[in-house]
Amino acid sequence: MNEAYDVLVIGGGVTGGGTALDLVLRGLRVALIERGDLAAGTSGRYHGLLHSGGRYAVRDPESARECIEENRILRRIVPHAVENTGGLFVTTPYDDPDYGDTWLAACHACDIEAEEIPVSAALKLEPALNPAISRAFRVPDGSCDSFDMLSAMKAAIHAHGSQVYTYHQVTGLIVEGGKVTGARVRNARTREEKILHAALVVNAAGPWAGQIADMAGCPVTVRPSKGTMVAMAYRFVNTVINRCHPPGDGDILVPVGTVAVIGTTSVTVDDPNDTRVEPWEVQRMLDEGDKLIPGFSQVRALRAWAGVRPLYEEEGQAGGREAKRTFAVLDHASRDGVAGLITVVGGKLTTYRLMAEKAADVVCAQLGVSAACVTRGFRISDFGFRIGQHATSATALPIRNLQSAIRTHTLGHRLAELEAAPAQDGLICECELVTREQIEQAAREHPDAVAPWVLDDLRRDLRLGMGPCQGGFCGYRAAAILNEAAGLDAGQATRALADFAQRRWKGQRPLLWGQGLRQALLDEQIYCGVLGLDRLAGINDQPGRQELL
């Protein structure tokens, strides 16, 4: 089966999604290709920080300026995915107090609204902070939900007549006469292969960008840098907290929903698929957390995970903390003599829109398209909420302005929506306030509800299983709903449950002590002792089964 588009965009993170949307809004027919679910890679494996740029002001002012400018834009165009927490940079007893002067001057030089406030004011704002901090500075940081952002992007892309292929892996680029003319892709569930033709291909595969470029014989050196984060089962603060010192491990604490996420480490890895969490990384996060919040390490650690940053410098050898966080758009026609391929790599989630704009500019210049970029003012939030919320679903929204209905995200919005909604038939996930109706709706709208990974997709859509029980109570309930309402037979629902339990277990495994261990043992008793999930036919043959509870 062959299909033709103006542009193929490879990579379903925010950079790929943003690039596809930018091109669609300029009138091009685009196919966005992602090997998993949207935001399943680096974009969905970060700490949730909407950067003010303060972290980079001293060492990397170019990235800092990009961050603060895009921060202001994202608050306008994706307000439903942004919680306006604000941010504090604080000087702990472990930091040099004089660094604050250097840092503040650098912020002002980068146009970042940073101001020093009395320590007493900071402690009044955030009483859990270390009372021994000596300085505090306010910045416009925020918290950002990449799942919500990409869900609305997908709806906007579809509304403008283009296509999103999730769970389709690129197995090769088609190169004819020194020009990339398309890609071969494979459906991850059916194994069906198809060829997608296009006038131009954009490689936005993040840490996998080098592998995609290699398919066309174009060397791109991406330095994958793994960062580990830990989610704590308590919010601690309502403001993003940063250490006021040169960037290091575990010096950012981000309030995300009902939890707080501390991160990150920076470890260079050879394989961008290497997201293993090492015991020392977890301990480092807890130890550093104690410096910001006394007693931090004594609270239950809920989950640990790692994401891989796609660091890139064309001629540089820097890696890890030393590498710049800016980005590059590579035109392989002029760079490598291979036409029809553009790579966009580097950057931050906060700067994705700018990256997409610059990549789309190069695409349009090559295709003779004169339409200007409009994403600075295009409200992605107008194309809907996360699938399954009580408001109108993303896929069903017409192209219209919903400014009166969509506001900046707030912590209590899920409870408010639940209380204001018509009669519900029960909570399925008490931790994250997910109802049966939401799961049924999301399953109906899922492009392939019988796939084994469907429950993990619903996790991204609904936050199913992301609370303290980590799916222990809601997983089997949701699987039953898929069997009853979404057309899955018993075997399919069981496989979906096993896949979901395995993925939840992966993040709990590094934290097996105290309350976390008790929860894991309870989950094991539910899934294996009561339901016998480990003994059901076919489950033992699944890849990775040896790790299942």
Q: Cβ distance 529 to 535 under 8 Å?
A: no
**Do 182 and 275 have their domain in common?**
no
Structural domain total, the chain: 3
Query: Looking at the domain assignment, is residue 237 inside a domain?
Result: yes
Contact indicator for 12, 166 with CB cutoff of 8 Å: yes
Where in the sequence is the domain holding 478, given as residue range(s)? 410-547
Is residue 322's pLDDT more than 90?
A: no
Query: How many residues would you count in the chain?
Result: 549
Do 26 and 7 share a domain, yes or no? yes
Residue that terminates a domain, selected from 300, 333, 367: 367
232 contacts: CB under 8 Å, gap ≥ 6? 259, 260, 261, 262, 289, 296, 299, 300, 301, 302
Cα–Cα distance measured from residue 267 to residue 408, given in angstroms and rounded to the nearest whole number: 34
User: Quick check: is 74 in a domain?
Assistant: no
Banded pLDDT at 387 (limits 50, 70, 90): very low
Name the residue among 140, 34, 46, 38 with its Cα closest to residue 84: 140
Q: Note whether 501 and 438 are same-domain residues.
A: yes
Among 12-16, 18-22, 342-346, 406-410, the minimum mean pLDDT is found in 406-410
Query: Domain of 198: which CATH number?
Result: 3.50.50.60
Is it true that the peptide bond before 264 is cis, omega within 30 degrees of 0? yes
Instruction: Report pTM.
Output: 0.91
Residues 521 and 453 reside in one and the same domain: yes
Tokens linked to 418: 């639940």
Same domain, 354 and 501: no
Does 76 map to a domain? no
CATH label of the domain that carries residue 240: 3.30.9.10
In a domain, 446, yes or no: yes
Helix/strand/coil for 513:
coil
Report, as an integer, the average pLDDT of 504-520.
92
Confidence class for position 513, pLDDT limits 50, 70, 90: very high
- Give the list of residues 6+ apart from residue 280 with CB closer than 8 angstroms, or none: none
Is there a single domain that holds both residue 461 and residue 478? yes
Q: 309, 344, 359 — which closes off a domain? A: 309
Q: Are residues 418 and 350 in the same domain?
A: no
Q: From the CB of residue 86, how many other CB atoms can be counted at a distance below 10 Å?
A: 16
Residue 411's pLDDT is: 74
517 shares its domain with 458: yes
How far apart, in whole angstroms, are the C-alpha atoms of residue 34 and residue 12?
5
Residue 412: per-residue pLDDT: 78
Cα separation, 73 vs 357, in Å, equals 13
- Asked whether residue 422 falls in the same domain as residue 537, the answer is yes
